[in-house]
Structure 1
């Protein structure tokens, strides 16, 4: 028989996540959230199972389904499985301490958790788990037949669909629950409440009351708690409550004008509303610092560039950075440590679905006001960039934002050429994106050596606006005292604009002066370049003096700021 550690390592090596349970328990948790903390990390697994005698939870879903056969109330489930085994592939089977069975199968489609699809048979699928081999209850162990896990065939898939003619018996109409039915009644009742998203405390309290008032005789308190722990193994659903003011329906103009409708509260006054927002900015303009400053303002309820903010938690989804760079940025900005700004990092190429992510986070009872996705390109589901496809995609995020009353901020790319008169046209993609967005923000430099940023704002029921920002030594932004940069050297401006356009230059200083018709010669250009070396770096331009040859000493200028799309 495998030990808990051996079982855990075997499943982890096959990309199945595992986690520890308390010794002698099927449901008592050690972790804060097994769904979030279950892992395939070998080092972490060895810490969990090398020293403590923990039981092991095997996560189902993501290609793994388990048929859970119970024998506590009757042998009907066991008999049904035995009658079907000739049609099922030989697979890995674990016998439980109570005499039941777990039949493991690899699956190529989503399988939901389902309770009592047949008499004494449950299905563990997406977001579920089973207790693994090597675990024990009251000295009795989970043991296996040591076979590999087989892929499900069509007979298995048909079995997983359940008995379509089987009707669930009524469980709330009975006034008296006798011995033999008590466990099943309380378990079904608990699963029903769990499926409706009720709080854990409420479920336990209800089971306790039902046990005392209906079960004859009542079960012991420990047994009720065991039933409750089993119930928690199933996924808790979210009940989305309708808006106080429904957005759909049929109204006359008089009804609409007479009805007192509450305005949808802004997340940031005249800037962000519930729904979906696009934030476009070129590379190296400080968009990550801008986003972190926005998140910090919402989290702490601080004004954002003089605009009132709806305070609440913020979720930042980082697809292009790691935690070390974020830690450095936050410290440099002087952000105060808090528990309400949550940053999640994702590996390159990791599968991601925003709707699922939002549901998982709200299941933790955190009422987010904004979710910032950096960057939008990393979560795109379709490669199509036509109007219809992009409008359909952005409309899904719009509905998601309205449903949860939050602003979903999608950080996106801009085209390389930005027309200051039409900055919103620079957002990369079709007009389907901007047409479907509730708010659009574009941050850019008016020219390549500008020290300021222009933030243009447009949206539904939001007045058009433009703010001139300057980045401080802490890399945070503040409103600039003057609208445009002053005293920019005309010669330097010509050089920077030329290199940004041509990408590189190698030659003498005099040749460049002649080509650009600069009003300086000789040592004037080298002195100007050395004096403004930091400004060149800010413009993503490197300046290098090349080794002397028989001819005039050459220099090399190179632009490094192109953003690959």
Structure 2
């Protein structure tokens, strides 16, 4: 370090000036990259065609989130996703563009990861590169160099805030500072980056509210995949900035192969389940029941119960009588075959 006494008697460190020069260069570079385009010129630009890693779900150059509670099946789902992309196999009922995958597994043991990929049928021909454990040093630089070296279609980071070292996920500012370099890297390289994160313990009316931390977490994403587990099902849904939302869908898991596939829509399964309970209620009833009496007697969401009841009437399994007018409510009874 070089020091010099100025005419005010203050000792100066030349490295301070070096830092000032660096900041000036950074500001100059930022100004050079900043441009304004008139809207007329924007409208005349040729339209870009969206390219997908997973059709209508994961956009090339996009940044997405997979959120779920511990033990919901996030790691299992990401391994299946990696295998599907490496081989170009359908995933969650959608077509896949084959490509390489970088898999940052920051919480799993290496031996466990090996065992699970073996169970999925992975082999030496699959273009999947894995890293287990922490990433130290210039994490964003390491990620960028890995992308340049292997040219993958997809990068999976499990979990994102263990990678970025952002420990206050409730801070909007800190979350943005942590996620923006990752998002910018996805745009720059054309690679899709999937970030894995945790959901909160409590159930929320809006699925997005279950994502743990600041709204900046899912607000930074092009696609948010939400995975939840009930006593009966594992359910996945998506909310998309681009593409079409994946409605709540029950996943089917093969314990022998470790593979997850898309099953039926949750709404269809619930309609069928509630329909069976309504039929049982009507078959054991001494008289026809009103819709209100049915809704009060069967456990379930009112909207789903009403839909199930209409479906039973339309399919000829339940008889509906009455006018449905005030004082003359519809009455429902089972049809004896």
| TM-score bracket for this pair, using the shorter chain length | 0.5 to 0.7
What residue in structure 2 maps to residue 329 of structure 1? 116
Supply the distance in 2 between the matched residues of 1:248 and 1:298 (Cα, whole angstroms): 36
Which residue of the other structure, out of 225, 228, 246, is the alignment partner of 1:465? Answer: 246
8 A contact 1:275–1:399 mirrored in 2: no
What residue in structure 2 maps to residue 380 of structure 1? 164
Q: Which runs of 5+ in 2 are unaligned?
A: 3-12, 22-32, 278-337
1:338 and 2:121 equivalent? no
Which residue of the other structure, out of 256, 276, 293, is the alignment partner of 2:80? Answer: 293
8 A contact 2:105–2:158 mirrored in 1: yes
Normalised TM-score (structure 2):
0.64
What residue in structure 1 maps to residue 182 of structure 2? 397
Which residue of the other structure, out of 50, 53, 62, is the alignment partner of 1:264? Answer: 50
Shift of 1:416: 0.7
Supply the distance in 2 between the matched residues of 1:476 and 1:375 (Cα, whole angstroms): 21
Normalised TM-score (structure 1):
0.39
Shift of 1:487: 7.7
Shift of 1:444: 0.6
Shift of 1:341: 0.3
Shift of 1:352: 4.7
Supply the distance in 2 between the matched residues of 1:464 and 1:247 (Cα, whole angstroms): 33
Secondary structure of 2:53's aligned partner: coil
| Structure ranking higher on relative contact order (CA contacts 8 Å, 6+ apart) | 2
Supply the distance in 1 between the matched residues of 2:184 and 2:144 (Cα, whole angstroms): 13
Supply the distance in 2 between the matched residues of 1:382 and 1:294 (Cα, whole angstroms): 25
What residue in structure 1 maps to residue 146 of structure 2? 361
1:313 and 2:100 equivalent? yes
Q: Which runs of 5+ in 1 are unaligned?
A: 1-86, 88-154, 165-245, 491-565
Supply the distance in 2 between the matched residues of 1:353 and 1:290 (Cα, whole angstroms): 28
1:341-366 Cα deviation digits (max 9, x unpaired): 0001125xx525432122321442x2
1:99-122 Cα deviation digits (max 9, x unpaired): xxxxxxxxxxxxxxxxxxxxxxxx
1:411 and 2:232 equivalent? no
Structure with the larger helix share: 2
8 A contact 1:398–1:438 mirrored in 2: no
Q: Structure 1 residue runs of 4+, over 6 Å off?
A: 485-488
Shift of 1:312: 1.4
1:417-461 Cα deviation digits (max 9, x unpaired): 123x4211111111011111111111112x3x11x2211111212
Supply the distance in 2 between the matched residues of 1:247 and 1:390 (Cα, whole angstroms): 24
The size of the alignment, in residue pairs, is 243
User: Given the superposition, is the C-alpha separation of residues 258 and 415 from structure 1 closer, same or farther in structure 2, using an over 3 Å criterion?
Assistant: same
Shift of 1:329: 0.6
1:252-300 Cα deviation digits (max 9, x unpaired): 24x3333322223122112112232111122222211210111111112
What residue in structure 1 maps to residue 26 of structure 2? none
Shift of 1:415: 0.3
Supply the distance in 2 between the matched residues of 1:341 and 1:380 (Cα, whole angstroms): 22
What residue in structure 1 maps to residue 258 of structure 2? 475
User: Given the superposition, is the C-alpha separation of residues 482 and 261 from structure 1 closer, same or farther in structure 2, using an over 3 Å criterion?
Assistant: closer
What residue in structure 2 maps to residue 174 of structure 1? none
8 A contact 1:276–1:394 mirrored in 2: no
Which one has a bigger Cα radius of gyration? 1
Supply the distance in 2 between the matched residues of 1:470 and 1:277 (Cα, whole angstroms): 23
8 A contact 1:275–1:400 mirrored in 2: no
Secondary structure of 1:304's aligned partner: coil
1:145-176 Cα deviation digits (max 9, x unpaired): xxxxxxxxxx9x98xx9xx9xxxxxxxxxxxx
What residue in structure 2 maps to residue 430 of structure 1? 214
What residue in structure 1 maps to residue 224 of structure 2? 440
